[in-house]
Amino acid sequence: MSKKFIISIATLAIVGIVAAFAIFLAKGYTFSPKEKRIVGTGIITITSEPDAASVFIDGHLTTATNATVSSLPPKNYSVRVIKEGFIPWEKQVSVKEGLVTDVKITLFPAIPTIYPLTFSGVENPTLSPDGSKLAYVVPLSASDGIINKKAGVWVWTQTRNQPISFARSAEPHQIAQSTSTDFSKASLQWSSDSKQVLATVEDNNYLLEFDRLNSDPRDITPILQATVNSWEEDTRLKNEARVLAIKDITFRQIASSAAIVRWSPDETKFMAGKAETDLKVYNLENKKEYSLLTARAHIWLPNSMHVILIEEKTISIADFDGTNKAVIYAGSFQDDFVFPWLDSSRLVIISSFPTPTASEPNLFGVNLR
């Protein structure tokens, strides 16, 4: 063989070895001086809302979100994410050989902004089944006896990805006036399709369309039971369809036998149990179950990644697996009522202040971003 040919072969061999080594590195493999061999590693991708938060892995400042951390030996890591003005987030993250572990984090403000949304008083708030509409009653007269011109039934409709603002499309609208009928003490119930509101005033039952002012409310008392029964049947059929769609037999049995079942908005998870005190979250994607933190009530945040925990004078949010509980609001609010906006940016509560001009209960927003 000629010297030139040998050099060419040697060059190709070196290039091949370097290329193979580069491919190994790209796939998450690295050389371990301790073990004196190429070992498999894993990757963590960390994104957060808001971004540019500091990431500590096993106590060491490693990077900032949004970022990728590669060449991690397979094991469990303590990941802590910190950003000034927000509640820290921390969790054990498992890294496996040759795999990418996605970590998506929502950081909640350490001092949320609280502001009024209504000013005329609010009673009997009722959330629609689809979670996009809130019906409530504005009382006929305030505590000072002044007649309220806005008295009646109101609906606040929101659309997904629409920020809460006082733009015309985001304002609540009146669907019934307290003129011939006083709706001040009306109890409200939504239809199963979230398009009608049943307002019950003593022995009368008025069916109201949610998207307009019902100037002449229709009393459906003669067909009340049939109407309510049809709504309940629709709800039952929808729930049965969800349960039957569960592929895992064990999870399907749990959902079908539980006294309480609440589906996450994206229907990839559900919380279920015999009572509010023993609810668990079942993840249909990874077929795992998680114990929920104890609370008086549990509500899904619309992002399907968090659960709102309602306790006496405290509202918290935790990851759906029960970790990272963050107290969002501590103070008085009425009737355990918490209403999340569809974009998960805010919560709404009913509260009042002990002053002559703010003593009436009203809707207040609590910022989550």
- The proportion of the chain whose per-residue pLDDT surpasses 90, expressed as a percent, equals 70
Q: Which of 151-155, 330-334, 351-355, 361-365 has the lowest mean pLDDT?
A: 351-355
Average pLDDT of every residue of the chain: 88
Q: Are strands 297-300 and 288-291 parallel, antiparallel or unpaired?
A: unpaired
Closest listed residue to residue 361, CA positions, set 131, 170, 184, 138:
138
Q: Is 258 exposed, middle or buried (0-12, 13-18, 19+ CB in 10 A)?
A: buried
Distance CA 120, CA 136 (A): 11
pLDDT at 353: 79
Residue-wise pLDDT tens digits, 121-174: 899 999 999 999 999 999 987 555 566 788 999 999 886 544 444 333 457 999
Residue linked to tokens 């070895």: 17
* In the chain, % of residues over pLDDT 70: 85
User: Using CA atoms, how far apart are residues 52 and 77, in angstroms rounded to an integer?
Assistant: 20
How many Å apart are CA 104 and CA 78, to the nearest integer? 15
For the purposes of burial, counting CB atoms within 10 Å of the CB of 143, is it exposed (0-12), middle (13-18) or buried (19 or more)? exposed
Average confidence (pLDDT) over 199-205: 95
Mean pLDDT of 85-107: 93
Gap between the Cα atoms of 69 and 71, Å rounded:
7
Least confident span in 39-43, 169-173, 185-189, 239-243: 169-173
pLDDT reading at 175 higher than 50 = yes
CATH class for the region spanning 3-106: mainly beta
pLDDT tens-digit series, residues 297-348 = 999 999 999 999 999 999 999 999 999 999 999 998 987 899 999 889 999 9
- What's the pLDDT score for residue 165? 44
**Amino acid residing at 247:** K
Give the start-to-end residue ranges of the domains of the chain: 3-106
Query: Which tens digits make up the pLDDT trace of 224-254?
Result: 999 999 999 999 999 999 999 999 999 999 9
